[in-house]
Amino acid sequence: MINKTQKGTFITLEGIEGAGKSTHIRYIHELLSQAGKKVLTTREPGGTDLGERIRDILLMQHELNIDAESELLLMFAARSQHLKQVILPALANGIIVLCDRFTDSTYAYQGGGRGVVSEKIDRLANLVHPNLKPDLTLLLDLPVDIGLERASKNGEADRFESEAVLFFESARQVYLNIAIADPGRVKVVNAIRDIDHIQQEIKSILQEHKLC
Ligand code: TMP
């Protein structure tokens, strides 16, 4: 069982496609490193050899007809390995773990997008990380049409990017509901604005949390 005897801080970035997570995660890593913190940036699905192979299946193997619950289980298989091999040891060593997506993505995509009932996700979350929640989650929020337009410039669409607008509308709504339900943890950042404004806001959130 996972024990939250952590000394480090667990920060996650969330948002639909095109929200700019990759750019902002690099900025946060830099900012925290400059403040003298030990930071580890990682991602889901992925972050371990097994997780990266599962990621390849989930994102690239269009022909496998992966059903929604199989997809859900694969996400948690990757997550379980990631927690044990990377996230928990780093937190135990006092490192700030900066993770590009975590279980909120599962509620948004498998729950909202695919329509898996949230009780099933709750059960897997309780099994895989019973006592762990991110300390801070930055939700980069923007309208779906703008996000998809931005994401379409990054090359060929993966299995998720190939989904219809409605899929992402549901995912976005689930994210916003999570933020309303858990305002202490989840900070919504308006990601339509220019990069400087977004980064200023991210910086002040991190300052409020005494992270930089
Ligand atoms: P990204 O990290 O480049 O955004 O790609 C990961 C994709 O995987 C993205 O479309 C969201 C999806 N995903 C889920 O559907 N459920 C999850 O639990 C996670 C972590 C990601």
CB 175 within 8 A of CB 184: no
Q: What is the pLDDT of residues 59-116, one digit of tens each?
A: 999 899 999 999 999 999 999 999 999 999 999 999 999 999 999 999 999 999 999 9
Residue 190 one-letter amino acid? N
Contact between residue 62 and residue 163 where contact means Cβ atoms under 8 Å apart: no
CA 80 – CA 54 distance, rounded (Å): 12
Residue 25 CA to residue 8 CA, distance in Å, equals 17
Closest approach atom of ligand 1 to CA 113: 15
For the cut 50, the answer to whether the pLDDT of residue 3 exceeds it is no
Q: 191 CB contacts (<8 Å, ≥6 apart)?
A: 15, 19, 20, 140, 141, 142, 198
Lowest mean pLDDT across 39-48, 74-83, 146-155: 146-155
- In angstroms, what is the span from residue 16 Cα to ligand 1's centroid? 9
pTM over 0.95: yes
128 or 4, higher pLDDT? 128
For 115-135, the pLDDT digits (tens) are: 999 999 999 999 999 999 999
Which of the four pLDDT bands, split at 50, 70 and 90, describes residue 154? confident
Q: Which atom of ligand 1 is nearest to the CA of 106?
A: 18
Q: How far is the CA of 21 from the centre of ligand 1 (A)?
A: 11
Say how far apart CA 175 and CA 92 lie, in whole Å. 28
Mean pLDDT estimate for the chain: 96
CA of 164 to the centre of ligand 1 (A): 15
- pLDDT given at position 155: 87
Residues with CB under 6 A from ligand 1: 17, 43-45, 59, 75, 100-101, 105-106, 109-110, 160
Phi-psi region of 55 (alpha: psi -120 to 50; beta: other; left: phi over 0): alpha
